[in-house]
Amino acid sequence: MKIKKLSDLENHLPNINNYYNKLKDDKLREHTYLSTYPEIIKFSQNSQLNDVQTFKMLALMTYAWMPRVLRIDDEYLVCAASQLSKAKDITKNNYKEIKIQPIADCLHSLVGASKILHFINPEVFPIWDSKIQIIVGENNNNYTMKKSENYYRYVDIVYSLIENKKFYSFYKKYNQANHKRLKSMNIEQYDVSPVRAIEASIFEMANNYSLDVHFNRMGTLQINSVSGVSIINAF
């Protein structure tokens, strides 16, 4: 059984190929998903995040990217809007100053909270979902999906991979593949952030492996699959 290190970002290249080559059952849906991504980011970053009405509008737009109906809990609305406003200018060095839990409580979804944060600041906040949760070694259930500390741990893993000395090569190849895919669908080409590139690669890995994952105390993520084993040296 072959062992690969995810910290060697060359091992992400199959994920890039999968991202470009995989067939889609719904081409129009995929076209909409890819073509609207930079527009949502642009609109979100240009918005004046100083009231709950803007938060609601951005939440509605974010949930167009999700398979479920938006539910906003007014009890957490003011606090959630405040945290989202702060997130616009946050950096990787102080991202934990943003409390994602009030946003998640307001939207009844940590996934939804991560997506709206990503659109506000794609250089800092990756998107979180159930497939990625498995990759970072958490049980795929509603309880662990709602734990904000699991999201923060995932963000740290993403940052550690970006700091890898081979990341630039991976990132360049990822954007080249992304440009090729966009061009094939007659969509204007755009680059994604480093955070988005790693997140998308991890998501591809989750799609293409039958997973038996564990995360040990040394910060090593091991992914056992039918076809092989990958190891992420996360820290």
pLDDT tens column, 83-134: 999 999 999 999 999 999 999 999 999 999 999 999 999 999 999 987 777 7
Q: Looking at residue 143, what is its pLDDT? A: 52
Instruction: Give the alpha-carbon dihedral of 140, 142, 144, 149, to 10 degrees.
Output: 130
Q: Looking at residue 123, what is its pLDDT? A: 97
Q: Looking at residue 83, what is its pLDDT? A: 95
Q: What range defines the domain where residue 131 resides?
A: 3-233
Q: Are strands 212-215 and 220-224 parallel, antiparallel or unpaired?
A: antiparallel
Average pLDDT over residues 171-198: 93
Record the pTM: 0.78
Distance CA 14, CA 157 (A): 20
The yes-or-no verdict on residue 24 having pLDDT over 90 is no
Residue corresponding to tokens 């803007």:
54
Supply the DSSP symbol for 101. Answer: H
Return the structure tokens found at 5.
């290190």
Q: Looking at residue 17, what is its pLDDT? A: 61
Q: Looking at residue 130, what is its pLDDT? A: 79
DSSP-assigned letters across all residues of 119-177: HH-TTT-----HHHHHHTT--SSHHHHT-HHHHHHHHHHHHHHHTSTTHHHHHHHHHHH
Domains held by the chain: number: 1
3-class SS of residue 229: strand
Please indicate whether residue 88 or residue 226 has the higher confidence score (pLDDT): 88
Average pLDDT over residues 207-218: 46
